[in-house]
Amino acid sequence: MSNPLVECVPNFSEGRDPKVLDAIAAAITSVDGVALLDVDPGASTNRTVVTFVGSPEAVVEGAVRAGRAAAQHIEMSRHHGAHPRFGAMDVCPFVPVRDITMDEVVTLAREAARRLADEVGLTVFLYEHAASSPRRRNLAEVRQGEYEGLAARLADPEWQPDFGPATFNPRSGATAVGAREFLVAYNVNLNTTSTRRANAVAFDVRERGRVKRIGDPLTGEVVRGPDGEPEWEPGELAGVKAIGWYIAEYGVCQVSMNLTDISVTPIHVAFDAVAEHAAARGMRVTGSEIVGLVPLRAMLDAGRHYLARQQRSLGIPDEEIVHIAVRSLGLDDLTPFDPREKIIEWRVAEQGSRLVDRSVAGFVGSVAAEAPAPGGGSVAALAGSLGAALGTMVANLSAHKRGWDDRWEEFSDWAVRGKDLHARLLRLVDEDTTAFDALLTAHRMPRGSEAEIAARDEAVAAATRGAIEVPLAVMAASLEAMAVIAAMAATGLDTSVSDAGVGALMARAAVRGAQLNVAINAAGLADAALRDDYLGRASLIAERAASEEARILAVVAARMPAETSR
């Protein structure tokens, strides 16, 4: 089950009045399902960047309420600041974080733009991935002329807004709503105090590169094109803006970068490139820092990159992968780096709200309590997850065995597969209880009229299907985990073969337990054909699991020491 998470980073043309910023923040936090992560005002720019995340629907609602608050409290005709701007809610980008595509985020951005126009009365232009034409993709092009030139811009037939009034509103101006990739502000620390040398590295790596010169790259004659403008020599990294600067607080120079699309240039690629070019210029990278928040995938990609370079298994827990990333990138070189505060998904996680977030004793206590859920379905899913985890453990240990260095990728691949499966089965622990709760809710619906009876019957049928499909998913994932366990029983460490055997027992128990849940819930289906289909699918998986368990245990017995296998 996906759990999409979207970030919204609206910029407001007010950075000095805390009452206005408090009103905007209150509007955002009034939406259920939204987490306000940061409010960053700037006095000189008279501008504030707000960051919040949540479910797609909640984030759109938060953006609309924030836009309404900005329209009520900000008077653009009196605004002055150093940053380009043309509206009270100046820009409002939406960013995919987890379990959502850019195309889906574009749809969200356009829905937010429509609502800001219809419900708040704002003049709205679309930009970046949400742009209505290629010419409007670039924010600078959309905002050209800024607030002072907006009336003339709106009078141009080619620059009619995408939503809202095409007449100049002196109070609110206009708003640019877009969809973009996650932007990471990322600085790499150098063992130098020379801004000139730091800038040289920045020019080496940034996409724009440096001005072409004849002879000396710093003092040589500038090469100019037919139009008289300087020609540019591109740098190494696409989607990267960079400069070199000196940080007096720490006494070091940095290459300060904006990674505008981490799917094109990830953090670790930028770090390695800076390290390479710095070394070529006689400098050394000492660490780096992430300004603001970062998505989990960026840290996992970095950790896996450095694990692979060490020929280490990639199937270890996410927390360990992130630890490798933090150490490899030197993210705590200047200040402490707390992954729980810096990684978006971990920052907003509601720890303790899920069954799988409880302690072992807490979960067992919940099962034993005087309540029908969590019950056998959640326990079956947990058993399957433990079986998959044991297969993963054997693969990780085997990947790290002395003398098996040439096989690390083979075992790493099995470990990654096992990790994905035990994570999937852990999610099913909660999904089983959620499905059971939905079934209880459906049965409690009113039956006072024919319409209510029909609605209840439809809800019960849908909830019953859900209560069957979750344990079926547990059965399928547990059977798939047996492939990992079988491979480790046959080829993994001799000393861990018993762990593979226990994994097979747990996976088979998960299959059998989940099959019982399929059967008891299928009995409530009025559709006989559908009931038989569900039962048939469950029976087939159960037969295959029984065969796999027997095969694995036979392999385990053959590999066990002779004195213990009798």
Q: Which residues are catalytic?
A: 83, 432
Question: How far apart (Å, rounded) are the C-alpha atoms in residues 449 and 460?
Answer: 16
Q: Please, which residues bridge with residue 523 across strands?
A: none
- Residue 10: alpha-carbon gap to chain centroid: 19
DSSP 405: G
- Length, in residues, of the chain: 566
What is the C-alpha to C-alpha distance for residues 416 and 414, in angstroms, rounded to an integer?
6
- CA atoms of 397 and 313, how far apart (whole Å): 9
Give the span between the Cα atoms of 47 and 40, in whole angstroms: 9
Comparing CA positions, the residue from 424, 418, 421, 427 lying closest to residue 315 is 418
Count CB atoms within 10 A of the CB of residue 542: 18
Please return the burial class of 330, using the count of CB atoms within 10 Å of its CB with bins 0-12, 13-18 and 19+.
middle
Cα 245 to Cα 158: distance, rounded to the nearest angstrom? 40
Instruction: At 112, list the tokens.
Output: 């937010």
- Residue 156: left (phi > 0), alpha (psi -120 to 50), or beta? beta
Tell me how far CA of residue 279 lies from CA of 247, 274, 415, in angstroms.
Answer: 20, 8, 35
Phi, psi of 543 (to 5 degrees): -65, -45
Around Cβ 55, how many Cβ atoms within 10 Å?
A: 17
In angstroms, the Cα distances linking 61 to 87, 349, 449 are 19, 20, 35
Q: Distance between CA atoms of 376 and 383, rounded to whole angstroms?
A: 10
222: enclosing H helix or E strand: strand 221-222
